[in-house]
Amino acid sequence: MRSTYYTQAPAVTIQLGARLGRLLKEGDIVFLFGELGAGKTHFVKGIAEGLGVTDLIKSPTYAYVNTYDLKKGRSLHHYDLYRLEPGDDVTSLGYEETLADPKAINVVEWADRLGDRLPSRYIRVDILMEEDTRSIAIDFVYPTRLRDDMTQSYYEEWQTPLHVRAHSEKVTDVARQIAEVYIQKNQIVDINLIHTACMLHDLCRLCDFREIKKDRFQEGVTDAKWQKWAELRKKYKGVHHADIASDFLKSCGFEETAEVIRLHKSVNIVREFKSYNSLEKWIVYYADKRVKHAEIVNLAERFRDGQARHGILNTPEQQAEFKEVEKRTYDLEKMLFEKLDIGPGDII
């Protein structure tokens, strides 16, 4: 699952590249795919701009690579492998060295020339052209990435109840609507991360339901399922479902999705506000607060529902913390929609 952007002018392609450039960290690698004239070099111009390079960026077609100094001893290597034949040796270009340099950022045009010799972590940019329109698909590839087609098998593994799955699908829908508007605004969003985190945020919700009653579930609860549920609830007694799912997915190697899921737990927005450091984390947290069961509602209604179900148990300290959670969530809503042409009420 990738985020696809449409640009109608070279300047917009550059702007999109710059937004990606601003997110790049040391060690990041960007591979660009697309025909001659697709706009790869324009995109790289943007990346360089986003990284603070002020030199004129030209395609290094004859040199294969141009290097630019960045702040803090870092550097940007811009490769253009157009003249390389498939299977040709890239070692003589210094490619392996700069790719392995932890202080470097590498950007490679004509990455298809590398065949399947791609590292395990990179950002893939595919540009397709049609007259003056370019569709630019951006995909974040990393070994610890959970693929969107894997979510169903985790539901099965954890025997996640059907109504929890329905809730999760609705949350995914809300998050996608918001993410799509950000993508239309040419903001860089990892849509796969949002999708998988939303789908699995309540994977282990069953474990911390206050009580369970067989007839409350829409599916037929077999004895085997009931027993499995009882075992899970016993094993994870007292642990919040966000932490159970997050620890589990981390143990499977899916760090990024695990962390986004951990942060859907409401109190975390008060206890560790600083951890909410990406658009993906904001969107997933917020989308969950807009869905009551499998219905899209406003924040007030969702909070009222939460209070009705848990309110009486709260100590004054918890009550105060909950007020703060509400306030932070409203602030987040404001922040999320500030830059968009739609409002919270337009999510349907």
Contact residues: Mg ion, CB under 5 A = 40-41, 59, 109
**By C-beta, is 59 or 246 nearer to Mg ion?**
59
Which x/- pattern over 30-49 shows residues binding ligand ADP (rule: CB under 6 A)? Answer: ----x-xxxxxxx-------
**By C-beta, is 40 or 113 nearer to Mg ion?**
40
Identify which range of 9-17, 68-76, 185-193, 308-316 contacts ligand ADP by CB under 6 A: 9-17
**By C-beta, is 13 or 196 nearer to ligand ADP?**
13
The residue from 19, 113, 134, 241 that contacts ligand ADP (CB under 6 A) is 134
Task: Tell whether the torsion through CA atoms of 110, 112, 113 and 116 is positive or negative.
Answer: positive
Angle at which helix 40-50 crosses helix 10-23, to 10 degrees, equals: 40
The residue from 85, 116, 130, 132 that contacts ligand ADP (CB under 6 A) is 132
Residue 74 in contact with ligand ADP, rule: CB under 6 A: no
The rounded distance, in Å, linking the Cα atoms of 329 and 289 is 8
Q: Please name every residue paired with 80 in a beta bridge, in sequence order, or none if there are none.
A: 109
Residue 36: which of Mg ion, ligand ADP, none does it interact with, CB under 5 to 8 A by kind?
ligand ADP
The rounded distance, in Å, linking the Cα atoms of 113 and 52 is 28
**By C-beta, is 111 or 332 nearer to ligand ADP?**
111
The rounded distance, in Å, linking the Cα atoms of 307 and 124 is 44
Tell me how far, at minimum, the Cβ of 118 lies from ligand ADP, in Å: 19
Residue 8 in contact with ligand ADP, rule: CB under 6 A: yes
The rounded distance, in Å, linking the Cα atoms of 57 and 65 is 11
Phi, psi of 313 (to 5 degrees): -80, -15
Q: Which residues contact 103 (CB under 8 A, 6 or more apart)?
A: 26, 27, 73, 74, 75
Q: Please name every residue paired with 5 in a beta bridge, in sequence order, or none if there are none.
A: 136
The residue from 1, 9, 162, 342 that contacts ligand ADP (CB under 6 A) is 9
Identify which range of 5-13, 202-210, 285-293, 332-340 contacts ligand ADP by CB under 6 A: 5-13
Residue 17 in contact with ligand ADP, rule: CB under 6 A: no
CA of 79: how far to CAs of 17, 20, 44, 59, 140, in Å?
16, 17, 10, 8, 19
The residue from 7, 151, 246, 329 that contacts ligand ADP (CB under 6 A) is 7
Residue-wise DSSP of 270-299: HHTGGG--SHHHHHHHHHHTTEETTEE--H
Residue 289 in contact with ligand ADP, rule: CB under 6 A: no
Identify which range of 2-10, 233-241, 242-250, 338-346 contacts ligand ADP by CB under 6 A: 2-10
Residue 134: which of ligand ADP, Mg ion, none does it interact with, CB under 5 to 8 A by kind?
ligand ADP
Tell me how far, at minimum, the Cβ of 138 lies from Mg ion, in Å: 17
The rounded distance, in Å, linking the Cα atoms of 14 and 288 is 34
3-state class (DSSP) for residue 262 = helix
Residue 78 in contact with ligand ADP, rule: CB under 6 A: no
**By C-beta, is 10 or 119 nearer to ligand ADP?**
10
Residue-wise DSSP of 94-159: THHHHHH-TTEEEEEESGGGGTT---SSEEEEEEEEETTEEEEEEEEE-TTPPPGGGHHHHHHHHT
Residue 130 in contact with ligand ADP, rule: CB under 6 A: no
Q: Is residue 284 within 8 Å of residue 198, measured between CB atoms?
A: yes
Question: Could you list the residues that contact ligand ADP (CB under 6 A)?
Answer: 7-10, 13, 34, 36-42, 59, 109, 132, 134
